[in-house]
Amino acid sequence: MMVRGGAVVAVAGTWRANGELSRRHRAWRGISSLSAAAALVGAMAAGSGTARAQQAAQAAAQPAAQSANQASAEPETQPLQVFFADVEGGQATLFITPDKHSLLIDTGWPDNKGRDADRIALLARRAGINRIDDVLITHYHTDHAGGVPQLVERIPVDTFIDHGPNRQTDDPATEAAYEAYQKVLATGKYHHIVAKPGDELLMPGLNVEVLTSDGNFIQQPLPGAGQPNPYCRDSAVRPPDKTENARSVGVLITFGKLKILDLGDLTWDKEMDMMCPNNRIGHVDVLIVSHHGWYQSSSPALVDAITPRVAIMDNGANKGGSKVTIETIRRIPGLETLWQLHYSEEAGADNPPAEDIANVQGEDTGLFLELTAQPDGSFAVLNPRTGKTQQYAAR
């Protein structure tokens, strides 16, 4: 967006800090319309060579093809798309607006022959984009920032957003991920923004508001929020976290009436600082479960207070998905569904039904989840492994 003659004109993503707009120029190169999830599953199945992935591709083919045909016939109804890539217990969440602007939150792990970068780039291109406009790095742990060098080798990126310098310099793995990221920025090929609480990334139809960054958080409640938070009394006080997790850039993403919350790996103590004694966030529709569902996050003061309809957990089979956290999420008042990228070995019988899990026990199929949303607040979640699409009506 840009300001022209006193009016705000939508031309590209815009960063607003301290109430001031800053236009960033970039070339938009949308390729096609809505993604066909079956094609994605097929490509991933071919890459994995597993029978289970091949079966998943066949199961997803019919509903995905119908979705793509409907989108082609009715372009004005194209939704916001959100892909939850399987990066094996890291994070890589790709948002694509109806007019093909894009935001990627985190980049997964390094190494593994470029596995995570390949999965992200495949999702992007199959969804109709050949570049990523904005990449937001929540913090510098390897499972979030480690994939940056491999990602930019596979798909162009315009802008990187982060919280500023690495604060966990005593951890060699974190420092290595940070230095590799800094080398990418030092090429001069990319815009770079340091996010502060209250900043906004404005795309046509999509607003991304920074709630937390570098250990700080919004001081004033969001519009409609600010009520006393009764769930603070149910949350034990924990000592301050000293790692990069507590520095996570956390954002509220708004598309029409739909609200999606992603706080990266923000820890329990920081959640309570922001949410107690008053709820600064209010209510959301979709919670991207913090910290891959690990027990160091997801206090009742946060998750119960925001009353999401749906929670989506980007856990791995043996990373995140803590038994106690899954129990906490499933007790959220009014929660309709908990979706997981992987069956959690730790949680065992406390996992959600298999139809709500992208990757079940056994072979690594690398399958994703896809959320599609309309501006009226209605949305759907697709599990390509089963072909199941769960609809959530507007409220």
| Beta-carbon contacts of residue 259 (< 8 Å; ≥ 6 apart) | 252, 253, 283, 284, 285, 286
Determine how β-strand 2-4 pairs with β-strand 357-359. Answer: unpaired
Percentage of the chain exceeding pLDDT 70 = 82
What are the tokens at 348?
Answer: 């065992």
Q: Would you say 201 and 256 are in contact if contact means Cβ atoms under 8 Å apart?
A: no
Compute the distance between CA of residue 330 and CA of residue 328 in angstroms, rounded to an integer: 6
Amino acid 19: pLDDT: 62
Question: CB within 8 A of 71, min separation 6: which ones?
Answer: 33, 34, 77, 78
Res 294: pLDDT: 96
Q: Dump pLDDT digits (tens) for 77-95.
A: 789 999 999 999 999 999 9
Residue 108: left if φ>0, alpha if ψ -120 to 50, beta else—which one?
Answer: left
Kindly tell me if the per-residue pLDDT of 169 is higher than 80: yes
How large is the average pLDDT for residues 175-183?
98
What SS3 state is found at 209?
strand
Q: What is the mean pLDDT of the chain?
A: 87
- Tell me which amino acid residue 153 is: E
Separation of alpha carbons 59 and 40, rounded Å: 12
The neighbour count for residue 281, using CB atoms within 10 Å, is 24
- From the candidate CATH numbers 3.90.870.20, 1.20.272.10, 3.40.50.1820, 3.60.15.10, the one assigned to the domain spanning 33-61+78-374: 3.60.15.10
Per DSSP bridges, beta strands 102-105 and 93-96 are: antiparallel
Whether residue 2 has pLDDT greater than 60: no
Rounded distance, CA 275 to CA 266, Å? 12
Reported as a single tens digit per residue, the pLDDT across 104-154 is 999 999 999 999 999 999 999 989 999 999 999 999 999 999 999 999 999
Average of per-residue pLDDT across 168-187: 98
Provide the CA 335 distance to its chain's centre, in angstroms. 19
pLDDT band at 16 (very low <50, low <70, confident <90, very high): confident
Average pLDDT over residues 49-71: 44
The pLDDT of residue 231: 98
- What is the structure's pLDDT at 41? 53
Is the pLDDT score of 5 beyond 60? no
The better pLDDT of the pair 77, 232 is held by 232
pLDDT of residue 76: 53
pLDDT single digits (tens) 258-292: 999 999 999 999 999 999 999 999 999 999 999 99
Query: Which residue, chain included where needed, has tokens 């499972």?
Result: 143
Which residue has better confidence, 268 or 68?
Answer: 268
Residue 373 has pLDDT above 80, yes or no: yes
Please check whether residue 30 is in contact with residue 341, taking contact to mean a CB–CB distance below 8 angstroms: no
Nearest to 120 by CA among 161, 149, 162: 149
* Residues of the chain by 3-state class (helix, strand, coil), percent to 5: 30, 25, 45
